[in-house]
Amino acid sequence: MLWGVLTLVFFLFTVLPGDPARMMLDQREDSEQLLALKKKYGFDKSISAQYFYYLNDLSPLSFHSKNKEAFHYLNYGKYQYKTLLAIENSVFVVKFPYLRESFVKRGKSVSAVIADTFPNTFVLAISSIAFALLIGILLGVLAAVFKDSIIDKLTLFFSVLGMSVPSFFSAILFAWFFGFFLADITGLSMTGSLYEVDDYGRGEYINLKNLLLPAITLGIRPLSVIVQLTRNSLLDVLKTDYMRTAIAKGLSKFVVLFKHGLRNALNPVVTAVSGWFASMLAGAVFVEYIFAWNGIGKEIVDALNNLDLPVVMGAVLFIASIFVFINIVVDIIYGILDPRIRIT
């Protein structure tokens, strides 16, 4: 799967119009500098050769040239590596995948760019999904217990409303209402990231208040999905034979509902949450931009605008790896929640 993603991403961005070498030189362009830059980054090579070198950079086991004149991503001196085999002017090494360097942020590796921005997105995603899970499951249980009552109808109404409102509109509305109109009461700001610079020059500090509005805004849509999935799944579980048996044994409603019912009703919720969480880790671009949250989604858009292809490709591969990992974890959680699907 990862090989398919990196192949698609490489050829997609390689055939895009525009010359990264000219973009990097900006107004200082001349023919000699342009040729030197194309040679340094391998833009003068064929597409197939560039693709091979890109696979070589990403592979944990790869060949690299000892020739110091080779362009940078063939120069094994750029890697933290362990030599396994030396063949004439090449070495066979084991290393961490090398995502190359940013075209715009000269001398800064793509790994460093991701390391700077992804923690902010991770904190935002965790906060949003925790808010959606806590409130969504509670409301879903209430809607199932009080089926067809006013509580059930209001819950379904607001969940449908939350699903239908786009995230960018919710972000604008929340930022204006709570961060501007009611700013004196809430003490919240319309924009801000997790880390802010102290006005007195004492360095960065963590401002958790800036997390509140983007986390709630980003959590509204998954919350709406979780409410409906929990309600419908729990209603189906309550009709099963083993639930009727548990009730006939005289177990309390709380035990029947939460120990036997809710646990087996959470499988579809886990599936939905895993997809939403992975999407949030991919970067909630609109929410991050509107709240000026310095996350990986905002970084990807900036890189696209600046034709910073290594950052775009590295970030997409990193996100694809997260999707693969989360799907594996979800399969394990299925077995924990429902013994009927455990692999023996």
CB contact at 8 A, 231 and 138: no
> What per-residue confidence (pLDDT) applies to 337?
66
Sign of CA dihedral 31, 35, 41, 43: positive
> Distance between CA 272 and CA 140 in Å, rounded?
14
For residue 131, pLDDT beyond 90: yes
For residue 157, pLDDT beyond 70: yes
Q: Tell me the three state secondary structure of residue 82.
A: strand
DSSP 8-state class, residue 92: E
CATH among 3.30.420.10, 3.40.50.2020, 1.10.3720.10, 1.10.1200.10 for 110-341: 1.10.3720.10
pTM of the predicted model as reported, rounded to 2 decimal places: 0.77
> What per-residue confidence (pLDDT) applies to 2?
84
Report the share of the chain in percent with pLDDT over 90.
11
> Distance between CA 274 and CA 276 in Å, rounded?
6
Report the share of the chain in percent with pLDDT over 70.
82
Distant-in-sequence, close-in-space partners of 134: CB < 8 Å, separation ≥ 6: none
When pLDDT is cut at 50, 70 and 90, the band that residue 332 belongs to is confident
When pLDDT is cut at 50, 70 and 90, the band that residue 136 belongs to is very high
> Tens digits of per-residue pLDDT, 220-234?
989 999 999 999 888
For residue 138, pLDDT beyond 50: yes
> What per-residue confidence (pLDDT) applies to 28?
61
When pLDDT is cut at 50, 70 and 90, the band that residue 326 belongs to is confident
H-type alpha helices, the chain: 2-14, 20-25, 31-41, 47-58, 110-145, 150-164, 167-176, 183-186, 209-238, 241-248, 253-254, 263-265, 267-281, 285-290, 296-305, 309-337
Mean per-residue pLDDT over the chain, rounded:
79
Question: Within 10 A of 69 (CB to CB), how many other CB atoms are there?
Answer: 8
Q: 306 vs 193, 252, 303, 309, 317, CA distance in Å?
A: 22, 62, 5, 8, 19
Q: Where are the chain's structural domains?
A: 2-95, 110-341
> What per-residue confidence (pLDDT) applies to 134?
92
For residue 113, pLDDT beyond 80: yes
Phi/psi-derived region of residue 257, left when phi > 0, alpha when psi is between -120 and 50, beta in every other case = alpha
> Distance between CA 156 and CA 224 in Å, rounded?
8
> Tens digits of per-residue pLDDT, 247-282?
777 777 777 777 777 877 887 888 788 878 877 876
Decide which of 91 and 166 is more confident: 166
